Amino acid sequence: MKSGRQVKSPTALDAIGITPIVQLHKIVPEGSADIFVKLEYFNPTGSYKDRMALSMIEEAEKRGTLRSGMTVVEYTGGSTGSSLAFVCAVKGYRLVLISSDAFAIEKLKTMKAFGAELIIVPSVGGKTTPDLIPRMMEKAKSLADNDDCYFTNQIHNSDIIVGHRNIGKELLKQIDRPIDAFCGGVGTAGMLMGVSLELRQVYPNVKIVALEPASSAVISGGSPGSHDVEGIGIGAVPPLLDERLYDEARGIDENEARQRVRLLAKEEGIFAGTSSGLNVVGALQLAKELGEGKTVVTVAVDTGLKYLASDLYPV
């Protein structure tokens, strides 16, 4: 080694983060605020979940609660599962994932491609009904009740916020003007909480808006219902959602989200999944409300490639 300094050789895990940011140019009506979208599908598995999968594993390693030879267990709609499978493949952990046929087949296949063992909990009609996540959670808990297992338990695990704070840190470097509002769909709430913690340090008055499917707008005070937006709207207020870290929750029409995300591909060249469409609908609403001269930011959560087997992008 030339310098004599110990340099860590990079792995695929080093490809996580530092994703690009783009401004929307065509779909924002005149008189609205500017909208910036962070393209999180540039992460290795095509989703921002890579960030939290890495922090869940590495924070547990630091504490010594996850050690070499142990099995990692999680229940997942498929995005966290794909990211955990990727991280566990590189780090050499056995991974058992509880998922469901309600979620994209591409995600189920991705988890297996990275070597995870998959247990499928059957859904009702392929939808995220209010009972689905609790049933998956119960199955995961029963498996993880074993000394050799580490249950990442994403919904209750504040380690996820550590990884997502990096989205906020990167936004502050990438956007060289004040950020007036940020919005994002809420599943675990890890992303929204992580970004809020960072943005509020620099812009204490930034408006943080939690988005959820209108048909299951539980955070906004509605009743749990079924919907077809993978990864968000878990049918309950997620435990990590801290009231002090967001200003408002909004239900967004999922059909509008799907139309928007198709337009996003055609007009702006951003090819993303359904929850990203929801994020852009939220950002467009905020941009209209705040008006010209203001700045609204959101994220493209994951790649449209994960949804090609569904009817999100029809032939």
Ligand X SMILES: Cc1ncc(COP(=O)(O)O)c(C=O)c1O
b/e code 10-28 from CB counts within 10 Å (16+ = b): eeebeebbebeeeebeebb
- Distance (Å, rounded) from C-alpha 8 to C-alpha 113? 26
Closer to ligand X by CB, 251 or 273: give it.
273
Cβ-contact 96, 148 below 8 angstroms? no
The answer for 205, left when phi > 0, alpha when psi is -120 to 50, beta otherwise, is alpha
Q: Which of 60, 52, 28 is nearest to 154 (CA)?
A: 52
Using CB under 6 A as the binding rule, whether residue 190 contacts ligand X is answered as yes
The nearest distance, CB 188 to ligand X, in angstroms, is 3
Q: Which of 247, 307, 254 is nearest to 280 (CA)?
A: 254
Closer to ligand X by CB, 71 or 79: give it.
79
Per the structure block, which two tokens stand in for 163? Answer: 């990884």
The interface mask with ligand X, positions 66-105, x = CB under 6 A, is -----------x-xx-------------------------
Closer to ligand X by CB, 32 or 216: give it.
216
Q: Which of residues 229-288 bind ligand X (CB under 6 A)?
A: 230-232, 273, 275
Stretch that binds ligand X, among 27-35, 185-193, 201-209, 214-222 (CB under 6 A): 185-193
State the catalytic residues.
49, 275
Closer to ligand X by CB, 74 or 230: give it.
230
The nearest distance, CB 2 to ligand X, in angstroms, is 42
The nearest distance, CB 184 to ligand X, in angstroms, is 7
Closer to ligand X by CB, 56 or 192: give it.
192
Q: Which of residues 14-73 bind ligand X (CB under 6 A)?
A: none
Contacts of 174 (CB under 8 A, 6+ apart): 21, 38
Backbone angles phi, psi at 137, to 5 degrees: -65, -45
Using CB under 6 A as the binding rule, whether residue 191 contacts ligand X is answered as yes
Backbone angles phi, psi at 154, to 5 degrees: -50, -40
- Distance (Å, rounded) from C-alpha 111 to C-alpha 120? 12
Backbone angles phi, psi at 33, to 5 degrees: -70, 165
The nearest distance, CB 19 to ligand X, in angstroms, is 15
Using CB under 6 A as the binding rule, whether residue 302 contacts ligand X is answered as yes
- Contact residues toward ligand X (CB under 6 A) are 77, 79-80, 185-192, 230-232, 273, 275, 301-302
